[in-house]
Structure 1
Amino acid sequence: MINSIVLQRLKEREKELNTLYRLSSLLSDPDLNPKAIFGELIRFIPLGFQYTTICESRITFEGKTWESDDYRETPWLLVSDILVDNNTSGEIRVAYTQLIEMQHGSQFLPEEQKLLNTIAERIGDYFFQQRLKNSLKLLETGNENGNGNGKVLLKPDPDQHWKWRYRMAERISELMDMERFGVKAIYLIGSTKNATAGPASDLDLLVYHQSDEQQLNCLRSWFDGWSLCLSEENLQRTGYQTGGLIDLHLITDKDIHEGNSYAVMIGAVNDPARLLRKAD
């Protein structure tokens, strides 16, 4: 017999799958404009979350905003960026309007962040494909004739500095032995997160740890190695010489509790740190 916990988990997975099915059905129409897509999306995104009745959503895309009727910023918030052609074009926010139950420091399930990331990724892919088609049509005919999702053509993006830094930040977080170093989470902040990094910009990483002295020394040495390697890579790419590319910011439970230093960026409403990985 399936116990109640397993049954509840299965029900949550069913809600997530139904949400993705609705999204696929919505995006099957190639002629929808952003208003139609996001107006429908804010309606059914909350249906995929655990506490549907207190779940609200807001979508910002290229300077415009769509939000559910009762949306407001709360401490219980998930965010995922919408990337179109590797450029941040907007974001999706999901908020709980009241506290029900916290588990492992969050009211959201880990699967719910994955769900939101998947939705944002598919939205970005949809607009990329539509704008690519529109660009090709313009090249063939010389006439731009598109709906809202093809109105803005793909633009050449010669500035790749933030992109490879972002990929390396993801790779570093994937390879880190978090248990060995006593790391609880790693976040991305600064110009790379905001897609504004230049050829001499640092890669700013925020590491939340509970390391002892030996672990902390090993952690710093590990990042120093990465920093020097990335500095050499940047030199080969741009000709800029730096003494190290990673700007490492370390925070502890005390910093988070007291709201010290960079700890305030975790879960912030404005310019929040982007979670790369959390310890299991």
Structure 2
Amino acid sequence: MSDKNKTKVELLLEIAELRRREADFHALKGEHEQALRALRERIKELHCLYAITRLAGRRDISQDELFQGVVEIVATSWQYPEITCVKIVAGGRTYVTANYRRARWRQSSPLLVHGEQAGSVEVRYLEERPAMGEGGEGPFLKEERSLIDAVADRLSRILESKRTEEHVRVLSRELIKAQECERQRIARELHDNVAQELSMQRLGIESLLAEEALPESKLRDDLSFMSTRLAAIIAGVRDLSYDLLPPGLEQLGLVATAFRHCEEFSTRHGIQVDFFADGMDDLHLDFETQINLYRIIQEALANVRKHAGATRARVRLIASYPHILLRIEDTGRGFDMDARQTDAPEDKRMGLWNMQERARLLGGRLIIRSKPGAGTKITAEVPCKEKQ
């Protein structure tokens, strides 16, 4: 081969090598651009979640402002923000971007609070875009499925937190109200009964002392009357004290104390209470469990007296390890469960709240079933916690 031909061959080889390198360069450039696009998408996703977290941490905005802000954040975080619209449904309210309309390119994720759907996050494209292939959802990236689920999870936590805060506020108001009502009741009891009765007896004693000569029979009658009134005062103070803390609860146990309360309740109010306990004899319950179960019985029977119009009630206290079941039933007028929150008397509503919270405090639950004309059944199921 001549030197001239050899040079041409070498030149062709060099050209082929340059073309191969150029192809490799374009391939690397394409991979680089693809990696940059992916990185920009990941940065947008991180910015989206960070912005939502930062917005949720603000205390100077309302819930409506928070969710409307999230709508705007999400709209800028998808691959094609210029054609993206967003709708969030949360707590019965709807939040949308200004350009929102129903389009067929859609991606959504539910908001779940305590396992129940409380809303949704929805992202739509207003124009058609290429399908993303394996792992994608039509024009949406595979990573955007993870992002919308993460946004939904974050909003679910926000909703749950807001509901918990509202629940705590309601409970705090009810607790303060209950404390004030109890203080007023005790104050009225002391003022209207104990204080007035003692004042009358003091005046009677002063009247006796002022008499210079009083027949023995008259003296005996007056002293007997005073003794009777003092006995009534002592009984009233004892009842008041008994309502505040049932005596003998720790010494006698829950069953004996609850049985005595049911008997006294029947005698005092003329409502027959059938009490039955089973499997409780060998339990040594801690004081918290005993006092809260006792208060549930006390509150339930008070509701029977005030609202049910019943002539009979049944109380069942049953050990069913690892739980204790408490059932209180009455034959009264019952009530509409759906309308309870709006139509029930305030003190009844608070009484039901009180019983529910006592059951929750013990790590259990309280179920209330009632229908107009069919009486009411209250069932408390709490863990069996014994003394350590």
Output the TM-score relative to the length of structure 1. Answer: 0.48
Which protein is richer in helix relative to its size? 2
Q: Which has the higher contact order (CA 8 A, sep 6+)?
A: 1
